[in-house]
């Protein structure tokens, strides 16, 4: 700041949004970890049925849908960078549709579990940990869908200028995060614990 030799380096700081979203993802991961640990801890410790092996089936289509939505959102972003608004909207809407399918699936699964299998939060520790873990994930899907829809609407209304794409990138990061969490959840709940 005084007569010291001039600093040649270009002064560039990381983007605030990116750092914020990374921090958010970090903190959310910690939250999920605790619910996952609770699920793993109580695996096989229910005192009364129904047990996972009796009522859970692998959610193949929902998983495919959610995982492929990670790709569609990438396509969407690529389209945006190319400046192809139409393709952007198409892939973005497809992402929303896939997410919504996933949510619908969870809804029907829960309906089945509650009304046919009589498994609720209060039935046994499996019910307690299952609904809280899957529910926590589903709530994140809901938030994600809300944000995705918001962007779609704003973009269709022409409220998103072409150089203002960082928001969109951040939302897609979040969506990828929701996806990764699902991979972990599905592995723990529908692959590992299904043996109990």
Partner 1 sequence: MNHETLDDNFQIPPPERIGAERGSLTRIVQEMVFTVDHKTLGLMYIASGLLFFVVSGLMAVMIRIQLAVPRNHFLDPDVFNRLFTMHGTAMVFLVGMPIIFGFANYLIPLMIGARDMAFPRLNAFGFWVFFFSGLLLYFSYLGAPGLYAAGSAPDVGWFAYSPLTAKAFSRGHSTDYWTLSLLLGGIGSIATSINIIVTTLCLRCKGMILGRLPLFVWMFLVVAFLVIIAMPPLSACQIMLILDRYCGAHFFDTQAGGSAVLWQHFFWIFGHPEVYILILPGFAVASEVIPVFSRKPIFGYPVMVAASVMIGFISLGVWAHHMFTVGMTSIGNTFFAISTLLVAIPTGIKIFNWIGTMYGGKLRFELPMLFCLAFLFQFLIAGLTGVMLAIAPFDWQLSDSYFVVAHFHYVLIGGLLFTIFAGLYYWYPKALGKMPDFKLGLWHFILFTVGFHITFFPQHISGFLGMPRRIYTYDAGRGWDLWNLISTIGVFFQVIGILFFVFNLIYSYVKGKKAGDDPWDAWSLEWATTSPPPSYNFETIPEVRSRRPLWDLKHPDDPDWKYE
Interface residue with partner 1 among 93, 94, 103, 125 (CB under 8 A) is 125
Choose among 151, 70, 62: nearest CA to 101: 62
First-last CA distance in the chain: 67
Taking the complex as a whole, how short is the minimal distance between the CB of residue 25 and partner 1, in angstroms? 10
Q: Taking CB under 8 A as the rule, does residue 164 contact partner 1?
A: no
* 153 interacts with partner 1 by CB under 8 A: no
Q: Which is nearer to partner 1, 47 or 162 (CB)?
A: 47
Residue pair 131/117 in contact (Cβ under 8 Å)? The answer is no
Select from 70, 129, 172, 193 the one that contacts partner 1 (CB under 8 A).
Answer: 129
**Which of these ranges, 75-83, 119-127, 150-158, 163-171, lies near partner 1 under the rule CB under 8 A?**
119-127
Specify whether the CB–CB gap between 186 and 169 falls below 8 A.
no
Cα distances from 143 to residues 41, 54, 170, 193, in angstroms, run 28, 31, 14, 27
Return d(Cα 30, Cα 7) in angstroms, integer.
Answer: 40
Question: Is the Cβ of residue 16 or residue 57 nearer to partner 1 in the bound state?
Answer: 16
Per DSSP, the three-state class of 24 is helix
Three state DSSP letters for 73-93: HHHHHHHHHHCCHHHHHHHHH
Binding mask 13-52 for partner 1 (x = CB under 8 A): xxxx--xx--xx-xxx-xx-xxx--x--xx--xxx-----
11 binds partner 1 (CB under 8 A): yes
Q: Closer CB to partner 1, residue 68 or residue 128?
A: 128
Please report, as ranges, the residues that interact with partner 1 according to CB under 8 A: 1-4, 7, 11, 13-16, 19-20, 23-24, 26-28, 30-31, 33-35, 38, 41-42, 45-47, 120-122, 124-125, 127-129, 132
């Amino acid at each position: 700041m005084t007569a010291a030799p001039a600093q040649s380096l270009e002064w560039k700081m990381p983007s605030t949004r990116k750092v914020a979203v990374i921090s958010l993802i970090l903190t959310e991961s910690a939250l999920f970890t605790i619910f996952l640990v609770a699920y793993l801890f109580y695996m096989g410790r229910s005192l009364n049925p129904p047990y996972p092996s009796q009522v859970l089936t692998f959610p193949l289509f929902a998983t495919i849908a959610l995982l492929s939505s990670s790709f569609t959102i990438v396509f969407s972003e690529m389209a945006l960078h190319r400046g192809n608004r139409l393709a952007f909207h198409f892939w973005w809407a497809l992402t929303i549709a896939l997410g919504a399918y996933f949510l619908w699936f969870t809804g029907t699964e829960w309906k089945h579990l509650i009304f046919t299998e009589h498994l609720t939060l209060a039935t046994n520790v499996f019910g307690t940990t299952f609904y809280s873990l899957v529910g926590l994930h589903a709530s994140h899907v809901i938030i994600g869908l809300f944000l995705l829809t918001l962007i779609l609407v704003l973009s269709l209304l022409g409220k998103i200028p072409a150089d203002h794409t960082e928001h969109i990138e951040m939302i897609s990061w979040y969506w990828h995060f929701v996806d990764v969490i699902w991979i972990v959840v599905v592995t723990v709940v529908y692959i590992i614990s299904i043996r109990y």
